Structure 1
Amino acid sequence: MERIAGINPNRFLWCCADRGISVEECASATDIAMANFDKLLAGEPSLTFNQLRKVAEYFGRGVLFFLEQGPVNDATVHSAQFRTLANQKPELSARIKALIERVEHQRTIYLTLRDEVVDGNYPHFAPPQLDGLTPKQAAAAARAWLELEPSNNFESYRRAIEAQGLLVFRSNGYNGKWQIAKESPILGFSLYDPECPAIVVKKQAADAQQVFTLMHELGHLLLHRSSSIDDDEDMHARGGQEQEANAFAGYLLIPDDFLPAIFDQERPDDVALYDDWLTEHRKCWGVSSEVILRRLMDSRRLPRQLYAAYRQWRNEQRAEDKDGGNRAYRHREPKHVFGEVYVRTVLDALNGKRISLSTACSYLDNLKIKDVRLLERHYAGV
C-alpha cells in the first residue's frame, strides 16, 4: 500500500509533546510499527493513509493537520477555554486535556445540529443578571432561574441546568476516553461560552457527591463568566473565586429557609452517626451530609471542630469500589455521559434526515447501529 510523503514530523512531535507521550507510546497505542515512525521522523514516506488517519484520530486532529508544513500555532489549535484550564492547572494529565478537547468537539456538534434541525425547540443560554450580588443573593436568583423544586437529585438538577441552554457531561465509569480516572484529583470543569457553556462532572460512587461539583461549576459560569477546572482542594477553598463558587453552591442547594427543618437537639454526639441523623434531608435535597454540615457551620449552628471531626471520620472510611456498570445498557451510555438535550438533538437530526445513521452513530460515542435503534426505542418509551 502506498506510503504518504510530506507528513510534517514536527507536527507529529508537537502532538506527542502536547499529549505527554513518547513516540514509542504512540506506536504502541496505534498499533503501528515503530519503524514507520522512524521513517516519518527522517522525512521519508512512512505511513499509509489509514495509518495516518489512525494517528490523527488518536491525537484528536484532522489528517490535513499533519500534512501542513508550517509550525503549530497553539492559539489556533487550542481554544481560549482550553488554554485557560491548562494555565490554571499546568500539571493536567494528557488524558484530561484530551477530554477537554472532546467536550469542545461534542459541543460544536450540538450547536451545529441545533441550528440545522427544523422546528427544534432547543433552549438558548440567557443567564440571570448577578452583577453586584453576594453569593447568597446570586444563589437565590439562580435557583429561581432554574425553577427548582424543593426535592431534587443529580438528574433533576442536571435537567434544570440543561433546560437553560447549558450542556452537562458526566464522565463514565469505564476505562475509556470519557472517563476521569479514579486516581485523578480532578472533580469537574466548566467551559464558558456565551452561546452554550458546558459543565463536566466526574462520576463518583454517590450522586450526592457529584451535585456539589455541578453547582460549583455553575457558580463559575454565572458569577465569574469564566472557565475553570477544580479538584478537591478547590471545593474546600476559603478565599477567592473558588470560595465564592463554594458559597454559591451551598446556598443554591440549601437555602436558608431549608435549615429550620434540621433540629440541632437531635444531633448525635458521635460524628459517625451524622449521616443517619441527616438521611431524610440528604435524600430530599440530593446532597451529601458534608454540604449540610457546612451550611450549618456557616450559619453558626455547628462548631467548626465538629465539622472537621466529621470530615476526618468520612475521609477514613473506605469507599466501596464499584465497577463501571452493566454494558447490557450500552445504548443508554450517551444519555448518561452527554445528557438528554444532546442525545435528543442528534436523534432529531437523524429522524429529520439531516444526518445519516452512520454519522449519528459517531456522534453518539460510536454506538453500533443496533444500539442507536435501541436508544430510539428507549426515548419512544417502547
Structure 2
Amino acid sequence: MARAPINGSTLQWAREAMLVERDELARAAGTSEDRIVAFETGETRPTLRQLESIAKKLDRTLAFFFTPTPSTSDVPETADFRASNGEPIPSLLAREMRRAEQHRETIMELEGTPAPAAIVEPINWRNVAARAREMRALFGLTEAFTPPENQENQVLNFWRGLLEHHGYLVFQTTRIDLAIFRGLSIYHEKLPIILLNGADSNNGKVFTLFHEVAHLANRTSGMCGLEDRVNEEAIANAFAANFLMPKSQIGRIAAKTVGTAFERAEAAAGTFKVSVLAAGVRLRTLELITDEELESIRRESDDRWQGVRESRKKREGGPAPWRTRYRDLGPGYVGAVARALEDERVDMLDASHLLNARVPMVRQMIDEYYRTEGIE
C-alpha cells in the first residue's frame, strides 16, 4: 500500500496549532494514538487515505504536510476572559479562529487595505459611559436612536452591517456549544474581527457584538463568556449596556414600569431591542436591581432560550446549508467575493474555495447577497 512521505514535524505542528490531541486525531484517521506518534516522529508514514482524514481534521491541504515546519502558529492568540477554570479551547473553535483570519486576509487581497476601524480610546470603569457616547457619535447615532427593524434577526443584521460599514469584520460559528464561549475578538487596527457563537439568540449576539467592541477598544483579543466575575468582562458588559441602552433613555423606561425585576427587564428589552438579560445587566449597572435579581433574570432568560432551541430542534428540516454558511460568513465577506467574481478577478472555482462551498451553494449565496445587500 502506497504511503505518503510527509514531514512528521509539520504534522505535529499542525496538530498542536489546531489544539487537537493525538487520540482525537487517531480517531479521525481510523488508526491508533501510537501510530500518530510514529507519523510525527517519521518512524512510519500514513496511507493516502489516512492523510486525507488527517488533513480534513486539521483543516489543511494535503500538500501542506510535505512542506517545512512553519515557525509560528497561524491560529490567532486571544486572552481567555472566560471564568472556565482553565478549560482548553476546543479544536473546532481553533479552526474557526484560523478561518476568520484567513477571511480577513482574503478581503485585504481582494479589496485592498481599508481605513482603520472606527473605534474609541481604551475603556475603563471611570470612562465607560463616556466611551459609549463617543462610539454612538462615531456611528452618527443619537441617544434616542433604536434600530428601525423589529424582528430579532433584522436587528442583529442592522448592527452587524453598521459595524462592517465602519471597518469591522463579523463572523459566526456553527456547532460550538454556548457554554464554551459567547464571542471573541481578534484585534487589528484595520479589519478587527468579532466572532459570534451561532448557538446564541439573535438578541444575545447583539449584546456580544458591543461587548467585543469594548475589548477591541482596549486593543486586546479575547475569548468571552460575558462573566461579570472577570473584571475585563464586567467592563465590556458595562460598555455594551451603555451603548445599547443610554442612561437617559433607560431611566425613563424603568421609572414607568411596575412589576418584578424580570418584567422591568422585559420592558426595557422591548424598547431597546436587546435581550432580557442585556436589559437586566443594564438595570444592575444603574443599581435599579440587585445582584440576586440579575442572577434570577439570567437563569430565567437562559431557561427560556434553551426551551426555544429545543423546540426548534424538534421541527423537521431547518435552514438550508447555504443559508447557514451565508449567516456565518456574513454579507461583508460574501460581498467581497461576489464583487471579485463579477469583475473577473476570481473565477467560480476560486469563489468555491473562498466560500468553502460547492458551486451550486456559491451561486445561492451570491444571489442572496445581491438580493439583500448588493443593490445600489
* Aligned twin of 2:150: none
* Paired amino acid for 1:190: S
Q: 1:156 aligns with which of 144, 155, 158?
A: 158
1:110 to 107, 110, 114: 107
Structure 1 position 281, deviation (Å):
3.7
Measure, in 1, the Cα distance between the counterparts of 2:248 and 2:236.
20
**Partner residue in 1 for 2:152:** none
Amino acid at match of 1:101: R
Task: Render the CA deviation track for 1:166-200: whole Å, top value 9, x for unaligned.
Answer: 1011223xxxxxx3224x33111000011210001
Q: Does 1:237 align with 2:233?
A: no
Structure 2 counterpart of 1:376, one-letter code: I
Deviation at 1:69, TM superposition (A): 5.5
**Equivalent pair of 1:186/1:202 in contact (CA under 8 Å):** yes
Query: What SS class does the counterpart of residue 201 from structure 1 fall into?
Result: strand
Alignment partner of 1:339: what SS? helix
The alpha-carbon distance between structure 1 residues 306 and 376, as it changes in their structure 2 partners (threshold 3 A), is closer
Task: Please tell me whether the aligned partners of residues 211 and 287 of structure 1 are also in contact (alpha carbons under 8 angstroms).
Answer: yes
Q: Secondary structure at the match of 2:306?
A: coil
For residues 131 and 21 of structure 1, the distance between their equivalents in structure 2, rounded to whole angstroms, comes to 35
Q: What pairs with 1:3-152 in structure 2 (closer than 5 Å)?
A: 3-5=3-5, 7-21=6-20, 23=22, 25-30=24-29, 40=39, 43-48=43-48, 52=51, 54-68=53-67, 73=71, 76-78=72-74, 82-85=76-79, 91-115=88-112, 124-130=115-121, 134-148=127-141, 150-152=145-147
Aligned residues: 353
CA deviations 1:77-102 (Å, max 9, x no partner) are: 235xx233479866222222222112
Tell me, in whole angstroms, the C-alpha distance in 1 between the residues paired with 2:37 and 2:300: 54
* 1:67 partner amino acid: F
**Are the equivalent residues in 2 in contact too, given 1:204–1:210 (CA < 8 A)?**
no
Residues 1:201 and 2:196 are matched in the alignment: yes
CA contact (8 A) 1:187 1:232 kept: yes
Q: TM-score normalized by structure 1?
A: 0.79
Give the partner amino acid of 2:117: A
Equivalents in 2 of 1:253, 1:325: separation in Å? 35
Structure 2 length-normalised TM: 0.80
Preserved contact between residue 171 and residue 202 of structure 1 (Cα < 8 Å):
yes
The answer to whether the 8 A contact 1:147-1:160 is kept is: no
Identify if the C-alpha distance between structure 1 residues 210 and 381 changes in structure 2 by more than 3 Å, giving closer, same or farther: closer
Taking the aligned partners of 2:18 and 2:287, their CA distance within structure 1 comes to: 47
The 2-side partners of 1:62 and 1:87 are apart by 32
Q: Which moved more, 1:88-97 or 1:329-338?
A: 88-97
Query: Which residue, 273, 289, 301 being the options, matches 2:288?
Result: 301
Alignment-mate amino acid for residue 156 of structure 2: F
Residue aligning to 1:354: 345
**Runs of at least 5 residues in structure 2 that lack an aligned partner in the other structure:** 148-154
1:358–1:369: 8 Å Cα contact kept in structure 2? Answer: yes
Structure 1 gap segments, 5+ residues each? 116-121, 173-178
The structural deviation recorded for 1:44 is 4.1
